[in-house]
Amino acid sequence: MNMPASDVSWSLSRDLDLRVRARIGLMREQEVVRRIWNADPSVWSGSGEDRWIGWLTLPMGQRASGDRAVRFAGQIKHEQIADVVLLGMGGSSLAPEVMRSIIGVQPGYPNLHVLDSTNPAQIIAVERRIDFKRTVFLVASKSGSTLEVNILKQYFYSLAVQKLGDVEAGRHFVLITDPGSKLQHIAEQEHFREIFAGVPSVGGRYSALSNFGLVPAAIIGADVSLMLDHAEGMARRCATDGDENIAFLLGAMLGELALAGRDKPTLIASPAFAGFGAWLEQLVAESLGKQGKGIIPIDGEAVGGPDVYGDDRVFVHLRSTKAPDLATERAADALERAGHPIVRIDWSDRYALGAEFYRWEFATAVMGAVLGVNPFDQPDVEESKIVTRRLATEYEKSGQLPEDAALIREQGLSVYTDARTRPLLGDHDSVIEYVDAFLRLLGPGDYFGVLAFIEMNEAHRGELEAIRQMVRDRRNVATSVGFGPRFLHSTGQAHKGGPNTGVFLQITSDDAEDIHVPEQRYSFGTIALAQARGDFEVLASRSRRLLRVHCKEIESGLRLLRSFVEDSLS
């Protein structure tokens, strides 16, 4: 079914417009669209991309999977299941989170809780919200070997056995995984209620229109068929080489703008569609940030006046045609008048999300062709996992993680850095002086990344957003906030593999309450700290500029850190 797609328009300066037109013309001469559909790896880097093209036909090929998902959703609705807890990371969690945000939970259907963290406080918060007798756990992992998913499954399955008994526990667990994975074998042994198969030729971040997205969508009562209709309409447009293939034009434009220095597409969204940014951020950052190249997407940054932005931005404005948001409209118009590149995408309704998933997947593949990188792998994510596993193994043997030497300890804060950043900071007698020296490392074209291995809640987010806005406004650089470990499966790839323009403030803390992982010596708090340390180690190996601030108590520590940033910048 050929559904009408969202409208797209853009405004560029004359020089940028000429560059983009030349790029589009060249890619048409090279028959890039035809070659993508023919799975020609030479479109990108010639390194096996042809094995990861299954997402191209998902809208047409997932109707039966969608129907099965809807039948399952109907069963648990009939049984009056109140909550579904999704245990997943990256592509297995962000698309469901966006669907919940934009489409919403429909009346009579269970609440969907997305748990993509090893932070003990976050796990405990979910555990205390649910009644195990009326809860289904949706375990989602393509490979079946993702550390976070496996230990979360161990924890909640162990609790289910305690509360419900061996026989009943399995009926409260459902698995989505690629055929033959380790988790599939475990699920069969433990008599999980259902097992839904992934598509092996589709990478995690391109899997929104497979069972990894369709099953959670059905569970919250979304019209899965309508969403696939929108996606199929977009897919058919993307099969052409004309101007109706707006995804091709969008990808060629954003790729060329990145080569021209406008490499930080910044999302401005109507409130109803703001949740889309978390998924888009992962897709673009993880697909394109590698080999020292990349596009750094900026999500969640409060909209400012034109004077707070550098010349490294292009703004992507998601608009609702039915309920325009006047504040974001005015902000986008002001940015356009100031000469910033603007892309406007009009959504007719919330189910345009299906078309938007597909549009951006195709556009990202085209951006990868412009940059000359493989948009389907994530080599630096894998390296971070290796370091984390090494630290976890060391803990299993010794009962402790290696000690780091702090630069200074003051008022419940401890400050750490790496050997390369250390001489750039100098010697100081207070935390605020180190913070000030660190922020002075920011220059034109850089971006400031807050990497927070703490509970993701509104209070913490508010403190971190205040910090990023002060840095953006007074240093005129792009900013991002990521909660660990979820960002490791998202922007973490671009942090390590992309251009060396990131200046990273990592935040860790003691845990007020910790919980142990069943059958392991380590706790969730230990794993979260090992993930933070592993991320820091890999970033340091890539010569990134780094500072870690460890808070003995997180709430007071964040308030103090924010005051230090404010004093430094003022």
Q: pLDDT tens digits, residue range 464-513?
A: 999 999 999 999 999 999 999 999 999 999 999 999 999 999 999 999 99
Q: Are residues 347 and 457 in the same domain?
A: no
Nearest 5°: the CA angle 34, 38, 40 is: 100
Q: Are residues 453 and 561 in the same domain?
A: yes
For residue 500, is it within any domain?
Answer: yes
Q: Are residues 361 and 384 in the same domain?
A: no
- Domain finish residue from 330, 351, 371: 371
Q: Are residues 74 and 146 in the same domain?
A: yes
Tokens of 303: 């909209």
Quick one: average pLDDT of 273-288? Answer: 97
What does the alpha-carbon distance between residue 512 and residue 555 come to, in Å, rounded to a whole number?
A: 11
Q: Are residues 246 and 176 in the same domain?
A: no
Q: How many percent of the chain have pLDDT more than 90?
A: 92
258 in Cβ contact with 295 (< 8 Å): yes
Q: Are residues 194 and 141 in the same domain?
A: yes
For residue 228, is it within any domain?
Answer: no
What band does 184 get if pLDDT is binned at 50, 70 and 90?
A: very high
Q: Are residues 202 and 246 in the same domain?
A: no
420 in Cβ contact with 543 (< 8 Å): yes
Q: pLDDT tens digits, residue range 327-351?
A: 999 999 999 999 999 999 999 889 9
Q: Are residues 545 and 400 in the same domain?
A: yes
220 in Cβ contact with 105 (< 8 Å): yes
For residue 52, is it within any domain?
Answer: no
Quick one: average pLDDT of 545-553? Answer: 98
Say if residue 397's pLDDT is above 90.
no
Quick one: average pLDDT of 77-93? Answer: 97
Q: What is the CATH number of the domain that holds 522?
A: 3.40.50.10490
Rg (CA), the chain: 23
**H helix runs in 352-408, sequence order:** 353-371, 379-398
- Domain finish residue from 371, 389, 406: 371
Beta 413-416 vs 408-410: how paired, if at all?
antiparallel
Instruction: Annotate 164-190 with DSSP letters as a single string.
Output: H-HHHHGGGEEEEE-TT-HHHHHHHHT
Q: Are residues 250 and 285 in the same domain?
A: yes
Question: Where in the sequence is the domain holding 85, given as residue range(s)?
Answer: 62-222
What is the biggest distance separating any 2 CA atoms in the chain, rounded to whole angstroms?
68
Predicted confidence at residue 401, as pLDDT, reads 86
- If one counts the domains in the chain, the total is 3
Quick one: average pLDDT of 417-437? Answer: 97
User: What is the reported pTM?
Assistant: 0.96
Tokens of 437: 């020296």
- Examine residue 485 and say whether the peptide bond preceding it is cis (omega within 30 degrees of 0): yes
Say if residue 4's pLDDT is above 50.
no
For residue 85, is it within any domain?
Answer: yes
Say if residue 399's pLDDT is above 70.
yes
What does the alpha-carbon distance between residue 386 and residue 403 come to, in Å, rounded to a whole number?
A: 19
For residue 279, is it within any domain?
Answer: yes
Predicted confidence at residue 455, as pLDDT, reads 97
- Domain finish residue from 301, 336, 371: 371
Q: pLDDT tens digits, residue range 139-172?
A: 999 999 999 999 999 999 999 999 999 989 999 9
Q: What residue has token string 């892309």?
A: 343
For residue 343, is it within any domain?
Answer: yes
Q: Are residues 213 and 270 in the same domain?
A: no
Q: How many percent of the chain have pLDDT more than 70?
A: 99
pLDDT averaged over the chain? 95
Say if residue 255's pLDDT is above 70.
yes
Beta 447-452 vs 413-416: how paired, if at all?
unpaired
For residue 230, is it within any domain?
Answer: no
Least-confidence region, from 67-81, 163-177, 283-297, 376-390: 376-390
- Return the amino acid letter for 224: V
Q: Are residues 174 and 258 in the same domain?
A: no
Say if residue 210's pLDDT is above 50.
yes
Q: Are residues 212 and 277 in the same domain?
A: no
Say if residue 207's pLDDT is above 90.
yes
Backbone phi and psi for residue 202, each to the nearest 5 degrees, phi listed first = -120, 120
For residue 49, is it within any domain?
Answer: no
